[in-house]
Structure 1
């Protein structure tokens, strides 16, 4: 335990001063860049080779859906067997399947083969973010700097999903359609190998306590509440993204959509950095509720501002984005408080993939609303998703504030 905890940005420096933390966190950042590149890279690859947007969208959806459905099961195995034992063959399978996807696309393979390969890519995509958080949790259990370590990982997620789409788009449109996915393959290889080489910080296999039955992370009420909130947030993200793209087109300024969404993400990253550096007196369960409510209010501001002008909508987006990272960060901080040690990696994985599942539902839902009634309807639907997130966090306060639940044998 640290006697005099550092505050501000010094808390980040102190967390990274623990032996091995900077190495595995940096390697994990590099290794998870492909997670922000594979879906969009698949779309750019197929459309760049003259295939339809419908097929490209189905391919990206197959990757995301397979990842969301099966990744938690693989992470449960990681909790039982250890990271290297599971991640090494999973990473190898991912590299092979990603290479096969590029080859199949280049040779204009039939849709069924492309979709089947996309499923393999999603299933084999390693969840390095969850594994990095599990290492922080094991190394700093009970230490006041665990929150700072988890904050670092959340900020890395924010940065990855700002850098990844820009990188893959540039490579696929300027160099070659396959360049984005091939670069993702190289990053996964290098980052994953370095991460797995950090054996000194790898937590051992996690066994349930004596007299306790090992249950899936999702069976614990606190984890279920966080997953519910994160799913609603994912739907919110999908609705806002397609809504802003449509709004910019309605104003005959389609090129501004990327800038507006980048400002939304940048506001989230900046506020998340400041938020993670503060030692909060208010308990995390309550902060989680406040953050989810703030996200809903932010969506309301965006929906109201969108009816006036793109400028006001952009300002509202920046304001709304301030709540994103703090809410997601607090959800991750809650994991070791509401999930038993033998299910931590699985719980972190659920939080990561459920957001993608929400986006996969929010985006097409927003598209359907836009086709029928315009961009504003998607943005107002995001208000409903934000309200659902806030309501779930409010109703689940007791489960989030209770001690770690154990299931009696």
Structure 2
């Protein structure tokens, strides 16, 4: 293990700035759910059922908006992507608490749809500014930061809502999110290699080493072509040519799928004359980056969302049986603390581990929580599960950044976030069905079983992607 990797990363002021701004800018998003729930359930007196619908609508907006905002990020850059989001959150969240319930649902959907794509910007920036082993370290560090935000953010939102009012809390969320977006617009972190200036990127690893890590991390095995980069690995064909470096072969320019897409957009009349087959081919070209191996990582992300939320809900239900639901923070502290330790250890490792392997270990290590009783025993057993949490998320994010070329990485990270959001949205109600009909222990078993099933699906998708490549 090489713990000096963290020092190398943090010596770069660009990486320090990106991680710090990402840390602060994530707080409003994590606090929005709990403050919205308290507003609908207590301030409006509509109960937690209606509050659940409101948060589900917001989550749906985020899941739909993340890939779209990521695609805009790829094409327009950080500042042009964030400008409409900054305006939207600054206007919508202060207005939402004063709307009738039906209009409130429309407002929170739009707020989720236009939420700041913090995840895509931070991960895309880290993917550009790091290489090789340092990229694994960077994603591990960001996973730890993200988990810390998810621990503190909801509690901070609840404090603001309790001390002031839920309407004030939602207003603070909107204005602070807008402020974070403005800071990101000013700092304008790079999302393309062509935007890098100043000191060299930490870890001067070659494209071949990046490809080797992609093969190794995705659990693919097989020979590595030393002349290929991560973009080539994605499709097995020629690397995508970006606008940053014009390429010419003989007298004919190399035309990328992106160039074809842009030409189609600039000529709407011509596009309308395309046949159904041509339209389908164009659509396939737009999603050429979505290989079986990338889809496998998305299955892992969905499994992680289901397991995380399902485990949390089951722990709350188990402690509620003994009247200790107020002490659930102790279990979460042990769980998240172990995750931070696991993330630090994984980031210092010299070798990458497949996200499928880590997700399987994460699932199996969660099962003992269904076999024990008592607050402190449950907290102690949760440490085993926590050790694999941050490494799983770091490995999955790093794999996406290696398999998808820079030109599409924002969109790919958006879909990654949507997959995890969808898993989180499904995890709570589905685990709740088993908790209500059987027992809290059944909630753990359900979450583990579904996550292992998705790992199997991911393995099949990865194998199919390897055969096609």
Q: What's the TM-score once normalised by structure 2's chain length?
A: 0.76
Assess if the C-alpha contact under 8 Å between 2:67 and 2:415 holds in 1.
yes
Query: For residues 122 and 218 of structure 1, do their structure 2 counterparts lie closer, same or farther at Cα, with a shift above 3 Å needed?
Result: farther
Whether 1:260 and 2:260 are equivalent positions in the alignment is: no
What SS does the corresponding residue of 1:219 show, helix, strand or coil? Answer: coil
Assess if the C-alpha contact under 8 Å between 1:72 and 1:346 holds in 2.
yes
Structure 2 CA distance, aligned partners of 1:192 and 1:392? Answer: 37
Q: Cα offset for 1:131?
A: 0.5
What is aligned with 1:97? 92
Assess if the C-alpha contact under 8 Å between 2:36 and 2:54 holds in 1.
yes
Whether 1:121 and 2:121 are equivalent positions in the alignment is: no
- Aligned counterpart in structure 2 of residue 294 of structure 1, from 350, 361, 375: 361
What is aligned with 1:246? 317
RMSD: 2.5
What is aligned with 1:390? 455
What is aligned with 2:272? none
Whether 1:213 and 2:283 are equivalent positions in the alignment is: no
What SS does the corresponding residue of 2:349 show, helix, strand or coil? Answer: coil
Q: Cα offset for 1:218?
A: 6.7
Q: Deviations over 1:56-97 (max 9, x none)?
A: 111111111111122102211211121211111122112211
Structure 2 CA distance, aligned partners of 1:296 and 1:112? Answer: 39
Query: For residues 184 and 218 of structure 1, do their structure 2 counterparts lie closer, same or farther at Cα, with a shift above 3 Å needed?
Result: farther
What is aligned with 2:48? 53
Assess if the C-alpha contact under 8 Å between 1:293 and 1:390 holds in 2.
yes
Query: For residues 200 and 129 of structure 1, do their structure 2 counterparts lie closer, same or farther at Cα, with a shift above 3 Å needed?
Result: closer
What is aligned with 1:12? 6
Structure 1 CA distance, aligned partners of 2:328 and 2:288? Answer: 38
Structure 1 CA distance, aligned partners of 2:317 and 2:132? Answer: 46
Q: Deviations over 1:134-161 (max 9, x none)?
A: 1122233x45422222222222211110
What SS does the corresponding residue of 1:255 show, helix, strand or coil? Answer: helix
What is aligned with 1:68? 63
What SS does the corresponding residue of 2:325 show, helix, strand or coil? Answer: coil
Assess if the C-alpha contact under 8 Å between 2:91 and 2:174 holds in 1.
no
Q: Deviations over 1:333-374 (max 9, x none)?
A: 111221122111112222223212111111111222222222
Structure 1 CA distance, aligned partners of 2:377 and 2:158? Answer: 28
Assess if the C-alpha contact under 8 Å between 2:28 and 2:153 holds in 1.
yes
Structure 2 CA distance, aligned partners of 1:273 and 1:180? Answer: 33
What SS does the corresponding residue of 2:26 show, helix, strand or coil? Answer: helix
What SS does the corresponding residue of 1:145 show, helix, strand or coil? Answer: helix
What SS does the corresponding residue of 1:178 show, helix, strand or coil? Answer: helix
Structure 1 CA distance, aligned partners of 2:178 and 2:24? Answer: 10
Structure 1 CA distance, aligned partners of 2:123 and 2:451? Answer: 26
Structure 1 CA distance, aligned partners of 2:189 and 2:102? Answer: 43
Correspondences of 1:345-384 after superposition (within 5 Å): 345-384=410-449
Identify which range, 75-84 or 149-158, moves more after superposition.
149-158
Structure 2 CA distance, aligned partners of 1:353 and 1:257? Answer: 27
Q: Cα offset for 1:393?
A: 4.4
Whether 1:172 and 2:127 are equivalent positions in the alignment is: no
Where does structure 1 lack aligned partners over 5 or more consecutive residues? 1-5
Q: Deviations over 1:176-214 (max 9, x none)?
A: 223432332232122221111113635379994244424
Q: Cα offset for 1:217?
A: 7.2
What SS does the corresponding residue of 1:279 show, helix, strand or coil? Answer: coil
What SS does the corresponding residue of 2:323 show, helix, strand or coil? Answer: coil
